[in-house]
Amino acid sequence: MSDERPDPPSVDPWLGRVVEGRYRVLRALGGGGMGSVYEAEHVELEKRVALKVIRPELVADDEIRARFLREAKATAKIEHPHVITAMDFGTLPDGGAFLVTTLVRGISLRERLSGGAMSWREACAIGAQIADALAAIHTRGFVHRDLTPDNVLLGKRDDGSPWVHVLDLGVVGVLHEAGDRRLTAEGHIVGTTGYMAPEQALGQATDARADLYALGVLLWEMCAGRPLYRERELTKVVAAQLTDPPAPPTPPTGEIPGQLGAMIRGLLEPTAARRPESAAHVRDELTSLRALPRSFVRPAGSSRGATRWVIPAAVGAALTLLATGVVLTLALGGDEPRVATAVPAPPAPPTPTVSAAPRAEPLAEPERSLFDVVATGPYRDARRRAAAQLLERPTPIPAGVRAAADLELARNCRDRRDALQRITAARDPRAAPIVARYREAPREGCGRGGQNDCYRCIRESLDLAWSAIR
């Protein structure tokens, strides 16, 4: 009979340790490619924080240490409600390093997705916050390069709605620098298979649009409730990305709007130049789409149109009026029309129930197609371009439609209030999608720290207009 006994369970040497005489390590939270993350407490302030340290076996790796320092610097430079904030950084006696950040309680997006698909409106809400974080990261001159469900943490607001924090800037890249890849060995790919844009996976130069591709993958998975790419072999995933772009996600129950499907398809374009222009642009469009009234949102597979449409002649007329290169939900490429999920025209507006409301004057072509873009188009720049073209048409435009186009173009409180007053007077229900986009916009995002309501000055006017056109 052997006298050998099983080894006792290993004890994490960090637990109970006091780092730099200030942070007492309480419990392990998880680990990443470079180190481990713990919940700790400042011994004097009794404040809970997150403490990230390089794993002991990686202390001697110069590349890992350099990336850790880059993460600390990037996290310190980016102050934003949806990005984890750095509070402290230092070196350890063994040559390692630690990073202290704010502690956020919640679950990862990966954990949330393990429970299945979410509603498309919830996906838009979470996606808009991720895009907001990316906009801040890009504005500071960085590219995340590893946006995955594991690096998105979902906390909760007081009302129970999700509050997003983007984590792990450990492989962050620097925009507009010749040394963008200076922390990467020759031929070494930085990122996670299935979430990297094709150009990133091929080791080519990347910019902010690589993060937008990853956001497209996250949106697809939030709506579908399953991974977009189950294959783990990098070469096979890249081949699929380049030759077989994914169809819009099909949730287990229900459908997503054609507008959202078109946006996801645009984010997942294999060519970076064909993706949306910026994270801020995507944020605004997701916020607007989430706010659209149910009657103005059609499923991609509704009976009024197939999931994949060819550009109709009426919208083709509108496209000829728009400047070349404007990204609509209908795309043109090469010598022949590309097949794309079109944004259907909204259904005929309901007859207003207010007895004094005037009858809405019909719109002819191409004015109707231009206004369809203004009302339901998923891209802000395309909506504004269409609104400007609509207002320049020689044909008389109904007062309510003109006011709605003016509201889309307005850039300050005075002009928005003026447009809303005219919408209230006209009582034209066709203005509903534009008014709804403003009414449902988050009540934060402006001012220092993004805590102020961007549209506080017109909230009362929005409510009056909404009451008049419903």
Buried b (16+ CB within 10 A) or exposed e, 449-465: ebeeeebeebeebbebb
For range 193-206, the mean pLDDT: 90
On whether the CB atoms of residues 383 and 438 are closer than 8 A, the answer is no
Measured in residues, the chain has a length of: 470
User: What is the rounded CA–CA span in Å between residue 27 and residue 192?
Assistant: 27
Position 206 scores a pLDDT of 87
For range 219-233, the mean pLDDT: 92
pTM of the complete model: 0.62
Residues 6+ apart with CB under 8 A from 386: 318, 322, 370, 371, 373, 374, 377
Q: How far is CA 398 from CA 297, 358, 426, in A?
A: 23, 11, 9
Which percentage of the chain shows pLDDT scores above 90? 35
Query: Which of helix, strand or coil describes residue 364?
Result: coil
| Burial classification of residue 42, based on how many CB atoms lie within 10 Å of its CB (0-12 exposed, 13-18 middle, 19 or more buried) | middle
Select which of 146, 211, 406, 428 is catalytic.
146
User: Tokens representing 322?
Assistant: 């728009």
When mean pLDDT is compared across 290-299, 388-397, 417-426, the lowest value belongs to: 290-299
On whether the CB atoms of residues 432 and 349 are closer than 8 A, the answer is yes
Task: Specify which of 191-195, 245-249, 254-258 reaches the highest per-range mean pLDDT.
Answer: 191-195
On whether the CB atoms of residues 343 and 261 are closer than 8 A, the answer is no
Whether residue 343 is predicted with pLDDT greater than 60 in this model: the reply is no
User: What is the rounded CA–CA span in Å between residue 411 and residue 68?
Assistant: 41
Pairing, β 173-174 against β 332-333: unpaired
Pairing, β 152-156 against β 142-143: unpaired
Q: How far is CA 6 from CA 1, 11, 13, 440, in A?
A: 14, 15, 20, 61
Comparing C-alpha atoms, which of 324, 317, 331 is closest to residue 367?
Answer: 317
- What digits encode the pLDDT tens for the residues 268-312? 999 999 999 899 999 988 988 887 766 566 555 443 333 332 233
Question: Alpha helices, DSSP H only, in 187-257?
Answer: 198-201, 208-224, 234-243
Residue with the bigger pLDDT between 238 and 70: it is 238
Active site residue 146: yes
On whether the CB atoms of residues 374 and 390 are closer than 8 A, the answer is yes
On whether the CB atoms of residues 47 and 87 are closer than 8 A, the answer is no
Residue with the bigger pLDDT between 342 and 97: it is 97
Position 170 scores a pLDDT of 56
The one-letter amino acid code at 367 reads: E
Which domains are delineated in the chain? 18-102 (3.30.200.20), 107-182+190-291 (1.10.510.10), 349-469 (no CATH)
List the beta bridge partners of residue 37: 30, 52
Position 447 scores a pLDDT of 66
On whether the CB atoms of residues 39 and 29 are closer than 8 A, the answer is yes
Position 62 scores a pLDDT of 76
**Average pLDDT value for the chain:** 78
Position 358 scores a pLDDT of 57
Whether residue 161 is predicted with pLDDT greater than 80 in this model: the reply is yes
Q: Quick one: DSSP state of residue 149?
A: G
Confidence bin at 171 (pLDDT 50/70/90): low
On whether the CB atoms of residues 272 and 209 are closer than 8 A, the answer is yes
Element (H, E) at 370: helix 367-376
Query: Which of helix, strand or coil describes residue 68?
Result: helix
Confidence bin at 11 (pLDDT 50/70/90): confident
Confidence bin at 365 (pLDDT 50/70/90): confident
Confidence bin at 6 (pLDDT 50/70/90): low
- What digits encode the pLDDT tens for the residues 21-77? 999 999 998 776 567 889 999 999 999 999 988 866 676 777 777 777 777 888 788
Question: Alpha helices, DSSP H only, in 96-225?
Answer: 109-113, 120-139, 198-201, 208-224
Comparing C-alpha atoms, which of 195, 211, 223, 249 is closest to residue 125?
Answer: 223
- What digits encode the pLDDT tens for the residues 440-455? 887 876 766 667 888 8
On whether the CB atoms of residues 287 and 367 are closer than 8 A, the answer is no
